[in-house]
């Protein structure tokens, strides 16, 4: 048996972009995660930030479009998807993204926002 699972918890870096592709709605957004550690030599506190592209399809994209905004804190589960292509200038590009199948809204700067879990399965109900 094989497993392709990605789990992220972080903040949206920009409002989601939503469009229609292959006859269904697709939302794309990016989540920032951070790490903090102490440098072994200097004992200084170090920080790093990673940015993760995320795609949500179908009714999950509807939920993202309606409720999620820049700065919101999210928990996302999904699978990794790798894409390779060559542009008009013959340059090769690669991109790895998380295709979301579960989303939990952990909080928002907007008043009244409450944590809510949405999965691809429950989003279609």
**Residue 97 is inside which H or E element, if any?**
strand 92-107
More confident residue, 122 or 13: 13
In a domain, 64, yes or no: yes
Confirm whether 1 is domain-assigned: no
Contact 92, 77 (CB under 8 A): no
CATH number of the domain bearing residue 58:
2.40.50.140
Reported pTM: 0.80
pLDDT (average), residues 111-124 = 55
Is residue 117 over pLDDT 90? no
Question: Domain range for residue 31?
Answer: 6-37+46-123
Query: If we measure between CA atoms, which residue out of 88, 83, 120 comes closest to residue 104?
Result: 120
Beta bridge partners of 57: 26
In 3D space, the residue among 29, 68, 31 whose CA is nearest the CA of residue 49 turns out to be 31
Do the domain assignments include residue 74? Answer: yes
Tokens linked to 90:
């013959």
The pLDDT of residue 42 is above 60: yes
88, pLDDT greater than 70 = yes
Mean pLDDT computed over 8-28:
94
* pLDDT at site 107: 78
Query: Over 80: is that where the pLDDT of 120 sits?
Result: no
Pairing between β-strand 24-38 and β-strand 116-119 as defined by DSSP bridges:
unpaired
Average the pLDDT over 40-62 and give the result.
Answer: 93
The whole-angstrom distance between residue 55's C-alpha and the CA centroid of its chain comes to 7
Q: What tokens were used for 43?
A: 């004992």
> How many domains is the chain partitioned into structurally?
1
Average pLDDT on 60-84 reads 93
Percent residues over pLDDT 90 in the chain:
76
Is 50 part of any domain? yes
**Domain annotation covers residue 56:** yes
């Amino acid at each position: 048996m094989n497993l392709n699972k990605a789990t992220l918890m972080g903040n949206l870096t920009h409002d989601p972009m939503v469009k229609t592709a292959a006859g269904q709605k697709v939302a794309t957004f990016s989540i920032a995660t951070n790490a903090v550690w102490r440098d072994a030599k200097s004992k200084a506190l170090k920080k790093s930030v990673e940015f993760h592209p995320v795609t949500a399809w179908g009714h999950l994209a509807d939920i993202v479009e309606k409720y999620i905004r820049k700065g919101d804190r999210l928990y996302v589960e999904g699978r990794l998807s790798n894409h390779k292509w060559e542009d008009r200038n013959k340059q090769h590009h690669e991109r790895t993204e998380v295709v979301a199948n579960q989303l939990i809204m952990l909080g928002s700067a907007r008043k009244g926002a409450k944590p809510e879990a949405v999965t691809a399965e429950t989003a279609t109900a």
